[in-house]
Amino acid sequence: MNNLTIKELIDRYVSLSFQVHKKGEALIKGQISEELTNDQHYILRYISQTKECTSSELADAFEVNKSAITAIINRMADRGLIERTRDQNDRRVVYLTLSEEGNTLYQSCQEKIEQLVRSIITQFDEAEISQFIHTYEKLALILGKMKQEELGE
């Protein structure tokens, strides 16, 4: 590939990435905005999938400072969406789990998001969506490796 082609591809990628991310986030926010922020939804999703975690795990998973996660967790705990449990052996360790109310809200929001995503992906044929997911997973893998290299891991 020549440099002009590479520059054009980079410009297209950056433009499309921005459009897809912003429009996708806005559509998701439109589905759940009355109940949760997008960050709160992602946190509920993470805890739902892991069953329990710590604030440090969330900060690592979302690549943000622990203080940012703590602020969000405090608001969610105040709303009764997340429960905190201290480790029996090390009182400094606090595990986060979904409360019954948090799980119910997460499931409700997840259904709305699944309907939204279904309405999008059904506009592609099976081969297109399969190839897209495969390519997107490959991109995530490449970015993950680059991030690890950047951190010197």
Verify that 84 and 99 share a domain, yes or no: yes
Number of domains into which the chain is organized: 2
Task: Report pLDDT digits (tens) over 70-88.
Answer: 999 999 999 999 999 998 8
- What separation, in Å, do the N-terminal and C-terminal C-alpha atoms of the chain show? 31
Verify that 118 and 135 share a domain, yes or no: no
Reference 58, options 77, 75, 39; nearest CA is: 39
Could you tell me the residue range of the domain that residue 145 belongs to? Answer: 124-153
Task: Give the residues across from 98 on adjacent strands.
Answer: 82
Determine the pLDDT at residue 153.
65
Task: Report pLDDT digits (tens) over 88-132.
Answer: 888 888 999 999 999 999 999 999 999 999 999 999 999 999 999
Q: How confident is the model at residue 142 (pLDDT cuts 50, 70, 90)?
A: very high
Verify that 99 and 75 share a domain, yes or no: yes
